[in-house]
């Protein structure tokens, strides 16, 4: 997606070979027009997958996921990173590791927002090591629902996440695929 790549080049900050800050348009301040275009791209790519819901992990994936759900006219469900005091025992959980934050956290999904008949599109802001997407897939598949695809806004293609998800047979569609990062350096896969 050319608009997204241009935004990354103009406003993104490559801190080092692993960290790309895009907080001015994707996850701290959000560019709603860009998110709408992202939602349109995901809708067009996954249009023949009979998707019933869009899932994302709080919080940075919410903006692109809600715009995708809006475009598809289906509900969007947020997977929580922490158990809430208002949740009872009626939920699914799995543990995932955040390499960026160097912590483990528990991903939680309320049972009332998924059935075995659902066909889920998972949308997330970044794909690096594949832990978050893999955890979301485990939750979806735990009750027999299907992962129809995984939509990624920015993929760090030099990290192992894409291969991990491809090897598991998931349809992964990334809008911007970065081949190399370094301090002040951002390169895309052509």
Q: Which residues are annotated as a binding site for 5-phospho-alpha-D-ribose 1-diphosphate?
A: 128-132
Between CA 39 and CA 41 the distance in angstroms is 5
Name the binding residues for xanthine: 20, 27, 156
Asked if 28 and 21 touch (Cβ cutoff 8 Å), the reply is no
Q: What are phi and psi for residue 62, nearest 5 degrees?
A: -65, -50
Residue whose structure tokens are 């485990």? 138
Binding positions are 20, 27, 128-132, 156
Burial 75-92 (b: 16+ CB within 10 A, else e): ebbbbbbeeeeeeeeebb
């Amino acid at each position: 997606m050319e608009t997204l790549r241009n935004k990354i080049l103009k406003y993104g900050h490559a801190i080092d070979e692993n960290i790309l800050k895009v907080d001015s348009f994707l996850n701290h301040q959000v560019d709603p027009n860009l998110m709408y275009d992202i939602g349109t791209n995901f809708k067009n790519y996954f249009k023949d997958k009979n998707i019933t819901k869009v899932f994302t992990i709080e919080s940075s994936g919410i903006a692109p996921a809600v715009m995708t759900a809006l475009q598809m006219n289906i509900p969007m469900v947020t997977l929580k990173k922490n158990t809430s005091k208002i949740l009872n025992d009626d939920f699914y959980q799995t543990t995932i590791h955040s390499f960026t934050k160097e912590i483990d956290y528990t991903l939680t999904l309320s049972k009332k927002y998924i059935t075995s008949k659902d066909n889920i599109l998972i949308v997330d802001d970044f794909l690096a090591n594949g832990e978050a997407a893999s955890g979301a897939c485990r939750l979806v598949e735990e009750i027999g629902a299907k992962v129809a695809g995984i939509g990624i806004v920015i993929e760090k293609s030099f990290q192992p996440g894409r291969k991990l998800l491809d090897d598991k047979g998931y349809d992964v569609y990334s809008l911007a695929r970065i081949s190399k990062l370094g301090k002040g350096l951002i390169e895309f896969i052509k």
